[in-house]
Amino acid sequence: MLNTPAILQSKFDALNLTQIINEPTRYNSKSVNTGTLIDVILTNSPSKYTSAVFSQDLSDHCLIACIRNGSATKRPPLITVKRSLKHFCEQAFLIDLARAFDSVNHHILFGRLDSLGFSNDCLAWFTNYFSDRVQCVKSEGLLSGPLAVSMGVPQGSNLRPTLFSVYINDVALAAGDSLVHLYADNTILYTSGPSLDTVVTNLQMSFNAVQLSFRGLQLLLNASKAKCMLFNRSLPHLLTRPASLLWTALT
């Protein structure tokens, strides 16, 4: 049962809603003390309301690999990784995408949503959500004419980071024996092994496969921001090198 005031309870009862979750999927100190199992969201913006609903549903039930908190796409990620001390050498590759959010192909995105089990009504809603969008540029008091937008996820929308996470979710499957962390338009690909030659070979193969996966999503690597990092117990300092020195980018 919802722990809500009577006036809100009466409004919910009038909607004749069906309860589909009988147990809480998320615990925190506040919910334990108050007995509140789900959040009540009131807003005058349908887009923000829907964003909150879908974000909770996807993240609570682990249907996608990663969701950024909030909409700050440039916030540094916090990653906790358990590394094996038996491997003396580890290599990481930091991948940055060029204009990633603006390059989302709507047809591919709808296919991703369909594969996650979204209903036809939900898919129709998203089709309408992305249709007939225009953008313009304002500079020095002058406003350009509107230009139709046929790609990308809307800037400023709460749905933006979640939809992009759904869009690139399957990239993790291409990493092979390497491990991958996805967050917004940045990706960390890393592996470990008994020698530098081993990790370089394995990570190069994974990097090539991940590049092909991104290419299939029409996303391009920002080579100037890609970095390679070497972790080695025998080295006194962490080595960071431009990606072009160690890695071959696909052309």
Q: What is the 3-state secondary structure (H, E, C) of the chain?
A: CCCCCHHHHHHHHHCCCCCCCCCCCCCCHHHHHHCCCCCCCCCCCHHHHHHHHHHHHHHHCCCCCCCCCCCCCCCCCCCCCCCCCCCCEEEEEEEEEECCHHHCCHHHHHHHHHHCCCCHHHHHHHHHHHCCCEECCEECCEECCCEECCCCCCCCCCHHHHHHHHHHHHHHHHHCCCEEEEECCEEEEEEEECCHHHHHHHHHHHHHHHHHHHHHCCCEECHHHCEEEEEECCCCCCEEEEHHHHCCCCC
Any idea which residue has 């204009």 for tokens? 99
Per-residue pLDDT of 125-180, as tens digits, reads 999 999 888 888 889 989 999 888 889 988 878 888 889 988 988 888 888 888 88
pLDDT-derived band at 62 (thresholds 50, 70, 90) equals very low
**Highest mean pLDDT of the ranges 42-51, 106-115, 133-142, 175-184:** 106-115
Per-residue pLDDT of 184-202, as tens digits, reads 778 888 887 777 788 888 8
**Higher local confidence (pLDDT), 86 or 11:** 11
pLDDT-derived band at 90 (thresholds 50, 70, 90) equals low
Residue 104's nearest CA partner among 164, 22, 32, 171 is 164
Amino acid 86: pLDDT: 40
Q: Is the pTM of this model over 0.75?
A: no
